[in-house]
């Protein structure tokens, strides 16, 4: 009897308390794709942010912030409600998005592939166009003020989301929101206000190189 109880306990421990359902995540994502692109690469020239490959916990936190209206997002209001997207669905869609890998370049033309496959591969390419500015000055600013949370290469860490490979237009809008107080950004608002505007321009110039 004790052996059986022990065996049972081992089995119970082996089963994860909650596993994300990627298929459900993919299904939920269909409505999001209209704005965020079929592979979560973003769209509208950066009006809609890239979501693919972002940290699932970060994505889920933002969805919660939209639901509670702590972070305002009018286009997403109909989608970010408890009824449309309960907690489990948020976790599933976040896990689904995190595992999507975008490409930086088109597959070489000599790689054998049928036309449809090539078209699908092309849709997965996200390459941020170079932004004008002094990249070296942008790097200095980034390394001293941002890297510890957003990663040395802008890849994101547990303390902050990825910035490399995100649409610059979207990032710019977020900084405006941080400055006018519409969105919270740790304690670093002063990083954006107490410095020459060219530093921010240079920051975009540098960040736009990081996904190459
Ligand atoms: C009608 C267009 C639209 C649809 C549909 C939509 N979104 Fe969005 N989403 C946006 C816009 C616009 C933003 C950027 C808001 C801003 O500028 O702050 C955004 C931002 C986000 C962000 C924040 C990203 C970041 O880097 O902080 C997440 C996460 C997100 N959307 C997830 C989803 C999910 C999941 C769905 C589907 C359930 C979805 N969205 C459907 C328009 C849309
Ligand atoms: C102490 C950690 C920390 C530092 C330092 C920091 N950030 Fe952030 N940043 C965050 C966190 C956390 C978020 C997500 C905020 C939220 O939950 O809405 C964020 C979000 C952002 C976003 C929005 C990203 C998105 O996908 O919506 C931008 C843009 C950004 N930070 C830029 C910067 C820049 C530029 C610097 C340097 C001047 C910087 N951050 C320094 C932690 C940090």
Per-residue confidence (pLDDT) for residue 203, from 0 to 100: 96
3-state secondary structure of 145: helix
Reported as a single tens digit per residue, the pLDDT across 31-90 is 999 999 999 999 999 999 999 999 999 999 999 999 999 999 999 999 999 999 999 999
Per-residue confidence (pLDDT) for residue 14, from 0 to 100: 44
Per-residue confidence (pLDDT) for residue 12, from 0 to 100: 47
Domain assignment present for 183: yes
Ligand nearest to C-alpha 156: 2
User: Which of 127, 144, 164 is the last residue in one of the domains?
Assistant: 127
Overall number of domains in the chain: 2
Q: CATH code at 166?
A: 1.10.760.10
Per-residue confidence (pLDDT) for residue 51, from 0 to 100: 98
In terms of residue numbers, what domain contains 169? 135-207
What distance in angstroms lies between residue 49's CA and the mean position of ligand 1's atoms? Answer: 7
**DSSP of 5-25, one letter per residue?**
HHHHHHHHHHS-S----HHHH
Q: Is the pLDDT of residue 157 over 90?
A: yes
Mean pLDDT of the chain: 89
Domain assignment present for 102: yes
CB contact set of 190 (below 8 Å; sequence gap of 6+): none
Residue 121 Cβ contacting ligand 2 at under 6 Å: no
Domain assignment present for 13: no
Reported as a single tens digit per residue, the pLDDT across 194-210 is 888 899 999 999 999 99
For residues 123 and 149, state if they share a domain: no
Q: How far apart are the first and last CA of the chain?
A: 61
pLDDT band at 162 (very low <50, low <70, confident <90, very high): very high
Ligand nearest to C-alpha 154: 2
Reported as a single tens digit per residue, the pLDDT across 85-122 is 999 999 999 999 999 999 988 888 888 889 999 888 88
Per-residue confidence (pLDDT) for residue 2, from 0 to 100: 57
Residue 159 Cβ contacting ligand 2 at under 6 Å: yes
User: Which of 80, 110, 127 is the last residue in one of the domains?
Assistant: 127
What distance in angstroms lies between residue 172's CA and the mean position of ligand 2's atoms? Answer: 12
């Amino acid at each position: 009897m004790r052996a059986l109880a022990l065996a049972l306990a081992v089995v119970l421990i082996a089963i994860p308390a909650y596993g994300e359902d990627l298929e459900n995540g993919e299904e939920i994502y269909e409505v999001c794709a209209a704005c965020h692109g079929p592979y979560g690469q973003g769209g509208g020239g950066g009006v809609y942010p890239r979501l693919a490959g972002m940290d699932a916990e970060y994505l889920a936190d933002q969805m919660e912030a939209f639901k509670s209206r702590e972070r305002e997002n009018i286009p997403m209001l109909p989608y970010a409600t408890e009824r449309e997207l309960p907690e489990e669905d948020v976790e599933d869609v976040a896990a689904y998005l995190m595992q999507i890998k975008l490409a930086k370049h088109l597959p070489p033309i000599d790689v054998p592939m049928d036309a449809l496959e090539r078209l699908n591969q092309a849709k997965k390419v996200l390459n941020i166009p170079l932004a004008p500015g002094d990249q070296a000055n942008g790097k200095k600013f980034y390394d001293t003020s941002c890297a510890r949370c957003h990663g040395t290469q802008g890849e994101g860490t547990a303390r902050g989301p990825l910035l490399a490979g995100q649409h610059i237009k979207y990032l710019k809008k977020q900084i405006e929101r941080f400055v006018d107080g519409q969105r919270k950004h740790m304690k670093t608002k002063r990083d954006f206000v107490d410095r020459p505007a060219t530093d921010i321009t240079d920051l975009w110039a540098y960040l736009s190189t990081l996904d190459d």
